[in-house]
Amino acid sequence: MKFNQLDSALESFNKDYVDINPSEMTEMLEIYNKVIFEVFTILKKDNKCCKIDFPIGRGSSFEDLKVVEPDEFDVLIPLKITETNWFIEECRKDPCFVRITDVHGLDDDTIPLNCKDGKYLSATSVLSSFQGGIQRFVNKYDGDYKLNVSTKGPAITQLQRKSFSDGERYCAMSLPIEAKKILKITKAIKLNLRPTPMDTVPSYIYKTAMTH
């Protein structure tokens, strides 16, 4: 009997505080697709930014793990760099990060000078260049939506994070339905019942724990 009551309580919480209306998610995805295409079109012409390929959707909105509101869509912006001019240098202190280092004596003129930090491709400078490019896009935007540049986002680091890989995304999308439900309820509790001790751990840590 107690198990039935718990299941009922979890289902009720899931319905009231976790699940996103499918029609709302569909509508927001349509808006996202329109805006991200326009952003890409502008950024690839911006000579203050690195050359890029089309942004790749990553994170909870693309893994059926988004909760509460369809209000955030994470993307990776692939940089087009000459492989012969750069190599990956593992970070000794943290295997989750790498440095992208230039090959001595070779210069990659596809990378703007403002994105380099000595011999390294600077994650901080690359991020700053894209933030500037997006701000310039927003300043000139006269489309259907009201756009603002968010001051929130990923941590600024001199290193490149080895995450959001295809393997990580596959693992997240392959979670059993019940495991996804538990993870989404956990994320919703963090959002709706703040402050809680759970706030000390970022949501992606819970996802990583569920996928390993």
Domains of the chain by residue range: 2-81+126-210
Which residues does 182 contact at the CB level (< 8 Å), separation at least 6? 210
Q: Across residues 190-206, what is the average pLDDT?
A: 76
Structure confidence at residue 27 as a pLDDT band (50, 70, 90): very high
In 3-state terms, what secondary structure has residue 52? strand
Q: How far are the Cα atoms of 47, 198, 199 from residue 194, in angstroms, in the given order?
A: 43, 9, 7
Q: What is the pLDDT at residue 151?
A: 62
**Number of Cα atoms under 13 Å in the Cβ half of residue 2:** 0
CA distances from 184 to 80, 151, 206 (A): 35, 25, 10
Q: Across all residues in the chain, what is the average pLDDT? A: 80
pLDDT tens for each residue of 51-107: 888 998 888 898 888 988 898 888 888 888 877 788 887 777 766 677 788 887 666
Between 63 and 5, residue with greater pLDDT: 63
Cβ 156 vs Cβ 124: under 8 Å:
yes
98-137 pLDDT, tens digit per residue, is: 778 888 766 677 788 888 888 888 888 888 888 899 999 9
Contact 149/138 with Cβ under 8 angstroms?
A: yes
Residue 31 has pLDDT above 90, yes or no: yes
Query: Residue 85 in contact with residue 99, Cβ under 8 Å?
Result: no
pLDDT at site 29: 94
